Structure 1
């Protein structure tokens, strides 16, 4: 596929550094083969990772997944990140595409700040209020590196697996052709429903909550 480069070309071009196949096995037993890809020249200098899954057609399914140590690794039920990662791996494998694992812990406020925000949430603030109470942005994520990664992979048009309206908005501004957005499932539990409701009410996430 030929990249459709817009403004991303003005901030530098990333190149593929290494490709290696990795068998993935999740806690529930689901497994998939991924091709892990690393990059040189990313705008923020971080070690983001692309996982190529399945056999993509002309327009791959792509998920931008921000790192969540507590949810992805330890299975924290305070968010829906772990279940979303597991879901994305399977859905992308079924149709072919790319999972971009972005090192943007806590909507890019960092792990320690995220834990500080959790403490404020325990005092009654929602996830966005807690960030701003710490003097931090509600959501500090920038997806320039993601656009660079897609360009380096030769991906110019995508279907985007997301409930977050900011992701397609940023990617389109960076020259990525987002043909459509595909909503993720709703992974609501008694532990995270308040967190999910804040995402709906504060930033317009397309999550259908009952009650």
Structure 2
């Protein structure tokens, strides 16, 4: 069953004032969040009444939850800087959305993510660590994004990503991804091998 809209409010942040909309899977109870700016946040507004949301591409980032990077400032990944850089960009442009998807550790969950970290400490890369635990390299799904973007009346997407798999996932859902904006931030000596693995083994785009 797809996620359903639950509630919306204003959220002042260090980057600017955003609309926060919460969606929930009625069966699992899992929640996902849309932080948006300059978009219509009203389920009663038809797309035809929100021409600005549908006529030009909307900046969108699909950001998977990363407690260690987003909240604790971990240097093992580039997630925290990607989150903050995206919100800063959306605030600067005055229009767009960040979909915060509760899929910790590329969908394997926090406990398994830390188990994978322990294997990385032994010299295994981020992909092999997952596989050694009997887990997929990337267990994320993106079907909830269709509901969330429809709610925001987003028709054409300018996706903020280095990951072609995210573009392919949205296109497979019938969404119109017409542009891509790269996001290269947060690189440091602690995550250099992690980023290199994503580029060499997981098809992430360097430029």
Instruction: Name the residue aligned to 1:81.
Output: 79
Distance 1:202 1:194, change over 3 A: same
Unaligned runs of 5+ in 1: 1-10, 26-30
Distance 2:150 2:35 in 1: 14
Residue-by-residue CA offset, 1:41-91 (whole Å, 9 max, x unaligned): 578652000001246763210000000000000000000000000000011
- The aligned runs of 1:125-136 (5 Å cut-off) are 125-136=124-135
Does structure 1 residue 32 correspond to structure 2 residue 21? no
Residue-by-residue CA offset, 1:177-207 (whole Å, 9 max, x unaligned): 1011110024210000000000000111112
Aligned length: 192
- The aligned runs of 1:5-154 (5 Å cut-off) are 12=2, 14-25=3-14, 31-40=15-24, 45-54=29-38, 58-95=56-93, 96-154=95-153
Structure 1: which 4+ aligned runs deviate by more than 6 Å? none
Instruction: Name the residue aligned to 1:202.
Output: 201
TM-score (norm 1): 0.85
Give the superposed CA RMSD.
Answer: 1.8
TM-score (norm 2): 0.87
Unaligned runs of 5+ in 2: 40-51
